[in-house]
A = this chain, B = another copy of it.
């Protein structure tokens, strides 16, 4: 494209190339960028200036020079913009303010039941987000919000769809309310995808294929293929809590079907079996507490749940051939018992090649995986080609 003075300018992918190259954090001079992209030095210089104005890159100390004019190096600088990660659980909300490197600058947690409805929950998020930004966001421009919700989310709109434990939230415009109040784009996904993203980003960034399984009041998976969240045709990939397992034959699930994985291996099912054996446990948290205090029956039941889950995961391993399976959620995190049961079946029942390099591990992110994944989702958005172009235009 020729600009008004007849000089060549570039749009689209060629322009964005320079920022995408600098994102790896390695400092480079203008000459190195010209060589890497094949763009003219004048084009590179103009682009570097635009990225500097947009505060997306910074110059670093001059490179050692053997004489003549030293060559200045530039690198990605994510410390001048911020995002909010929001993890909304069944009974808690967790907000974190991070920069574009994912460094957490401040966070706050509160016990709020999601059943209180979107106005109350998101109202709290908005108030606390403003406070975090005022107290910890000086000099930082907020650029996006990422939200994880404990129910199915329509990917194209970011709205919850028929969420079973979220009364009042069905089709509520979560992105609309947050974006209007805080003035930036809002990305929404279900909590399991967000936890998978957080775990992948923080602990397995180089792994292409990872399966994250959350075992709590329900059971669900987050599927990472080719380094990205796989959502599938209707955006419900990973929804394996209601696959039929022979061990649950005859057991009614809360979804109305018979024989679901959740009906035998999730927190409430384990609690029910312990109660039938004479214990008095109210739900998932009581099961976790019993396991942690060493109750033999509770440990036995959790391990058996791990075996049933392992059987389903064996099919997942054969289909996807991941290199890492991460078990998360409160039941997985109560010692290594669920993990041991799952490993026993997966390593016994899978093809040798499928498990030769397969790691099956507990979540390392733990309670923080969801809020970290929500931040990562927002950062991915801010650093996308279109968003970077918009930041550059606004700074011009």
Query: Does A34 reach chain B (CB closer than 8 Å)?
Result: yes
Interface residues of A in 330-374 (CB under 8 A from B): 349, 351, 353-354, 356-358
Query: Which residues of the partner chain B approach A351 to less than 8 Å between Cβ atoms?
Result: 236, 239, 242
Query: Which residues of the partner chain B approach A275 to less than 8 Å between Cβ atoms?
Result: none
Q: Which of A88-96, A111-119, A225-233 contacts B (4 or more CB under 8 A)?
A: A225-233
Query: Does A189 reach chain B (CB closer than 8 Å)?
Result: no
Q: Number of copies of this chain in the oligomer? A: 2
Q: A17-B13, A354-B239 are in contact. Are A232 and B320 (CB under 8 A)?
A: yes
Q: Are B237 and A321 in contact (CB under 8 A)?
A: yes
Q: A226-B226, A243-B315, A319-B237 are in contact. Are A38 and B17 (CB under 8 A)?
A: no
Using C-beta atoms within 8 Å of the partner chain, give the interface range for chain A: 35 or more
Secondary structure class of chain A's binding surface, majority of residues: loop
Q: Are A240 and B319 in contact (CB under 8 A)?
A: yes
Distance A243 CA – B319 CA, assembled complex (angstroms):
10
Q: Are B354 and A2 in contact (CB under 8 A)?
A: no
Query: Which residues of the partner chain B approach A2 to less than 8 Å between Cβ atoms?
Result: 40-41
Q: Are B38 and A239 in contact (CB under 8 A)?
A: no
Give me 14 A-to-B residue pairs in the complex whose CB atoms sit less than 8 angstroms apart, sorted by A's number: A12-B38, A14-B37, A14-B38, A209-B232, A221-B319, A225-B226, A238-B319, A240-B315, A243-B314, A243-B315, A243-B318, A315-B316, A316-B319, A320-B320
